[in-house]
Amino acid sequence: MKKVIIVLTIMFTATFVNAQGSDKAKALLDEVYNKVQSYDNIFVDFKFDLKNAEAGINQETRGDVTLAGNKYMFNYLGSQQIFDGNKVYTIVPENEEVTIEDKSEDENAMTPSKMLTFYKEGHNYAWDILQDIQGRKIQYVKLTPIDSDTEIKSRLLGIDMGTKHIYNLIETGKNGTKTTITVNSFKTDQTLSKTLFTFDEAKYKDEGYFILRN
């Protein structure tokens, strides 16, 4: 957030307030991060909303993800993605196709395993508005990417102050696209199948799927 400040005393006051806000925001995000890290596993059912008025885009869909450590199973747009800690398996039933690839080496890439912890690095923080949403106090923290070359203008991360869980993420792109992810259901420490993050290649071959390795 940039302001043109003429009077020196006002500048010092604003700097102090902004620093306080940044410290409060970081402290809240650290609390959320530590809580997320304390769970053995997490299940999130979410709504995904994509809007760009200029381009005439208005899309809404749902998905879910199960996270355990760095492993995940992600269901979205009729496809499923599994990461077993080494390989990423993308299963598309409509095309009867499976793509197998190595984990992305791009540390900045947004992946399901970073869905609840992406804010930990690469952003400047600012304390934003507090909203009452259906009786829940949602405190927003504004995240501004440190990398000026990114396509992301800013992100607003809504934190449920009662649970210290993420309620939603509102991302605004430099091209005017606004993406909102809202958590519908957040469950922790569920009993998971031992094979949940295991890809059974033989099963899909028997079902006639085309297996593509990248």
> Going by C-beta distance under 8 Å and a sequence separation of 6 or more, which residues neighbour residue 133?
167
Residues of the chain with pLDDT > 90: what percent? Answer: 64
Question: Distance of CA 2 to CAs 65, 149, 152, 158, Å?
Answer: 37, 18, 17, 22
For residue 52, being part of any structural domain is answered with yes
Amino acid at 144: T
- Model confidence pLDDT, tens digit, residues 6-19: 222 223 333 333 44
Structure confidence at residue 113 (pLDDT): 66
Quote the pTM value.
Answer: 0.82
Per-residue pLDDT at 12: 33
Alpha-carbon span 206 to 210, nearest angstrom: 10
Flag whether 175 is in a domain: yes
**Domain annotation covers residue 7:** no
Domain enclosing residue 132, as ranges: 15-213
Give me the mean pLDDT over the 95-122 stretch. Answer: 77
Structural domains counted in the chain: 1
What is the rounded distance in angstroms from the CA atom of residue 176 to the CA atom of residue 81?
A: 28
Q: Residue 185 above 50 pLDDT? A: yes
- Asked if residue 6 belongs to a domain, the reply is no
Q: Measure the CA–CA gap between 91 and 8, rounded to whole angstroms.
A: 59
Average pLDDT over residues 187-209: 95
pLDDT on residue 7 = 29
Residue 86 in any domain: the answer is: yes
**pLDDT score for 107:** 53
Residue type, 108: N
Would you say the C-alpha torsion 165, 167, 171, 172 has a positive or negative sign? negative
Q: pLDDT tens digits, residue range 27-61?
A: 999 999 899 889 999 999 999 999 988 888 899 99
The answer for 78, left when phi > 0, alpha when psi is -120 to 50, beta otherwise, is: left
Whether pLDDT at 87 is above 80: yes
Q: Tell me the average pLDDT of the chain.
A: 85
Encode pLDDT of 109-157 as tens digits: 556 767 778 888 888 889 999 999 999 999 999 999 888 888 889 999 9
pLDDT recorded at residue 120: 82
Band of residue 188 on the pLDDT scale cut at 50, 70, 90: very high
Q: 8 in a domain, yes or no?
A: no
Residue 127 lies in a domain: yes
Q: How many residues does the chain have?
A: 214
- Which of these, 72, 74, 45, 87, lies nearest to 182 by C-alpha position? 45
CATH number at residue 160: 2.50.20.10
More confident site: 163 or 55: 163
User: Reduced to 3 states, what is the DSSP secondary structure of residue 157?
Assistant: strand
Domain membership of residue 30 (yes or no) is: yes
Q: Is the pLDDT of residue 201 over 80?
A: yes
